[in-house]
Amino acid sequence: MTVLCERLDEGTRNPDDLNLIYDVLSNYRRRQMLQLLGAESNNSATIPDLASTIAAWEIDVDDPDAVSYDDRKSVQSTIYQHHAPKMADAGLVEFDKRTSRLELTDRANRLGLGGDDADVDGSAGDERKWMSSDAAAVTGVLAVAVSVAATATVAGSPTAFVVLATSIVTGVVTWNRSGR
């Protein structure tokens, strides 16, 4: 929050303005739109182009041209009717309804909200999430190994059985949560 506040001009550092920007950034599609617009050489794109790329990401398709009409149209409608006007109200994009074109404003660029290195999609946190889930999975596996070793030495002990069962359940839950 401090970085964003520091980047706002003195004239726009009021709480309502800041809340509006945070409201825009609270939506994943709007963050994707900012990233895509910033990646364009002229910081602008048409809504159909943005919708095709975002729909492809959402349905996990590599080629935006392979997105079905229905999938693209659904994303396109929400961008046109909801997301683009909200972003324009926050002063982050210029929205030309006639041509369905969006362009990043100087304000968005000044705030560092566009482009590949903007991390508006939260991808910088993805590696931390993977590292965290990997660490939890390794911990679960180690717990199972320790439990098996303990069971071998304390054969027939109810405590060893509980420890083993808990370790196995923890490992399975962690594995499932890590998305593997």
- Model confidence pLDDT, tens digit, residues 66-106: 999 999 999 999 999 999 999 999 889 999 999 999 999 98
Q: Do 27 and 112 belong to one domain?
A: yes
CB 105 within 8 A of CB 94: yes
Looking at 106, 122, 138, the residue that finishes a domain is: 122
Looking at 122, 145, 167, the residue that finishes a domain is: 122
101 bridge partner residues: 46, 96
Q: What is the pLDDT of residue 36?
A: 93
Q: What predicted TM-score, i.e. pTM, was given to this entire model?
A: 0.58
Q: Do 86 and 23 belong to one domain?
A: yes
Residue numbers of the domain that contains 154:
126-177
Q: Do 112 and 150 belong to one domain?
A: no
Looking at the structure of the chain, the number of domains it has is 2
CB 136 within 8 A of CB 174: yes
Q: Do 149 and 113 belong to one domain?
A: no
Q: Do 55 and 94 belong to one domain?
A: yes
Q: Do 90 and 69 belong to one domain?
A: yes
Q: Do 114 and 160 belong to one domain?
A: no
Residue 94 CA neighbour count, 13 Å, CB half: 13
Q: Do 173 and 139 belong to one domain?
A: yes
DSSP for residue 44: E
Looking at 122, 154, 169, the residue that finishes a domain is: 122
Average pLDDT over residues 101-119: 78
Identify which of 172, 177, 144, 171 has the alpha carbon closest to the alpha carbon of residue 160: 144
Q: Do 14 and 63 belong to one domain?
A: yes
39 pLDDT above the threshold of 70? yes
Q: Which two structure tokens, joined as six digits, stand for 96?
A: 């030309």
